[in-house]
Amino acid sequence: PGVQPRAVPQALEQQYSPSRWSPRLGSDAVIEAHLEALAAGTQRARAGVRTSLHVPYGDGDREKLDIYFPAEPSGAFPVLVYIHGGYWQCLSKDESGFAALPLVAQGVAVVAVGYDVAPEGHMDAMVLQVRRSLAFLVRQYSGIRGVYLCGHSAGAHLAAMVLATDWTDYGVTPDIKGTVLVSGVYDLQPILHTYVNDVLNMSQEVAQRNSPLLCVPPAAPTSCEVLVAVAQHDSPEFRRQSQEYGQALRAAGWSVSLLDLAGVDHFDIIEKLSEESYVLTQVEEEPPSTL
C-alpha cells in the first residue's frame, strides 16, 4: 500500500519519456543523435537555400522567424510553417530548417518559428507567440498562397492550438490549407504528473485551456485538412493521444487522416523530412492533393 500511490506517476514518467521507447539507441544517445541530425540538416539548408534569418515578428529575443525561400518563386507560393519540438523547454528555430531543401526545390517556402521555451516561456505565452507569428507572416508576405502547418512533438501541440484560434483578435485570418501533426501531445493533463511539468510549472487550469483535445472547434466550411502522424515506436500514451485527437477532430467535422508510420521512433519520424523520398516530405510537397 505504501508504494501504490506512486505507481501511476512512475508509469506516466515512462510513457512521456519518448527517448525510452526507441529501439535504435539508448535514451541519451538517441537524443544526442536527434540534435545532431536536426543541426546538420539545417546547416545544409542554410548553405543551399536563399534565406531571411531572424526576422522579428515581435519584440522578444526568440520572437523571430527563419524563412527559406524557393529559388525562383513564381508569383504566389505556398508556405510550410514548421514548429519545433523539445518538450516546450529546448530546441529552437536555429535547428528547424532541416526540411527546407526538398521542399523549396518544389517551390514551397519553409518558415521555422521561434518561441520562448520554458522556464522563460510559459504555456499561454508560447501558444500566443505561435499564433502571432502566423498573423505576422501573412500580413508581411503578400505572395503567400496557402499556409501549411507542421509541428513535431511539443510543436504538434502548438500547431494544434493554432487550429483552435479565434482569429478575430488578430485582424487577419491565415489561409491554413493543411496541417501535419507529428507525434504530438494533445491533452496536457497527464503531463502535470511528470518531470516535464517541473520546468513548465503548469496548473490544472493552464493545462486544460491549452489542451487541443479539450478545445476542438467545429470545422469551418473551408477548414484545412489535418494529417495526424504517429511513430510505430512512440509510447502507447503518445499513440493513444494521436488517435483520440484525430477522432475528436473528425467528430467536429474536420477532414482528418491518421498515419501510423512503421519502422520509426519519436525522433527519426521527423528527422527524415530532410529526405526527398520520405512519405511526410512527399505529403508536404503537394499538400492540397495528398493530405
Is residue 200 a part of any domain in this protein?
yes
- Is residue 157 part of the annotated active site? The answer reads no
Q: Is the pLDDT of residue 291 over 70?
A: no
- Give per-residue pLDDT as tens, 177-197: 999 999 999 999 999 999 999
Indicate the pLDDT class of residue 274, thresholds 50, 70 and 90. confident
pLDDT of residue 277: 63
Please, how many CA atoms are within 13 Å of residue 260, restricted to the half-sphere of its CB? 12
Mean of pLDDT values over 141-147: 87
Contact 142, 173 (CB under 8 A): no
22, 96, 133, 153: the catalytic one is 153
Of residues 273, 130, 249, the one with CA closest to residue 186? 249
3-state secondary structure the chain: CCCHHHHHHHHHHHHCCHHHHCCCCCHHHHHHHHHHHHHHHHHHHHHHCEEEEEEECCCCCCCEEEEEECCCCCCCEEEEEEECCCCCCCCCHHHCCCCHHHHHCCCCEEEEECCCCCCCCCHHHHHHHHHHHHHHHHHHCCCEEEEEEEEECHHHHHHHHHHCCCHHHCCCCCCEEEEEEECCCCCCHHHHHCCHHHHHCCCHHHHHHCCHHHCCCCCCCCCCEEEEEEECCCCHHHHHHHHHHHHHHHHCCCEEEEEEECCCCCCHHHHHHHCCCCHHHHHHHCHHHHC
Number of domains in the chain: 1
Provide the residue type at 96 as one letter.
S
Domain range enclosing 118? 26-225+238-274
- Is residue 61 part of the annotated active site? The answer reads no
Q: Is the pLDDT of residue 148 over 60?
A: yes
Is residue 207 a part of any domain in this protein?
yes
- Is residue 234 part of the annotated active site? The answer reads yes
Is residue 195 a part of any domain in this protein?
yes
Q: Is the pLDDT of residue 288 over 60?
A: no
Of residues 191, 178, 188, the one with CA closest to residue 257? 178
| CA-to-CA dists, residue 52 to 49, 68, 70, 174, angstroms | 10, 7, 12, 21
Higher pLDDT, 101 or 126: 126
Tell me what the pLDDT averaged over the chain comes to.
Answer: 90
Q: Is the pLDDT of residue 211 over 50?
A: yes
Indicate the pLDDT class of residue 283, thresholds 50, 70 and 90. low
Q: What CATH number should be reported for the domain holding residue 103?
A: 3.40.50.1820
pTM, 2 dp: 0.93
Is residue 233 a part of any domain in this protein?
no
Q: At what angle do helices 123-140 and 154-163 cross, to 10 degrees?
A: 60
Q: Is the pLDDT of residue 270 over 80?
A: yes
34, 157, 233, 266: the catalytic one is 266
234, 235, 242, 265: the catalytic one is 234
Q: Is the pLDDT of residue 286 over 70?
A: no
Residue 210 neighbours by CB under 8 Å, 6+ apart:
123, 124, 127, 157, 161, 188, 202
Is residue 109 a part of any domain in this protein?
yes
Is residue 47 a part of any domain in this protein?
yes
Is residue 20 a part of any domain in this protein?
no
Matching residue, cell 503531463: 191
Is residue 148 a part of any domain in this protein?
yes
Mean of pLDDT values over 197-217: 97
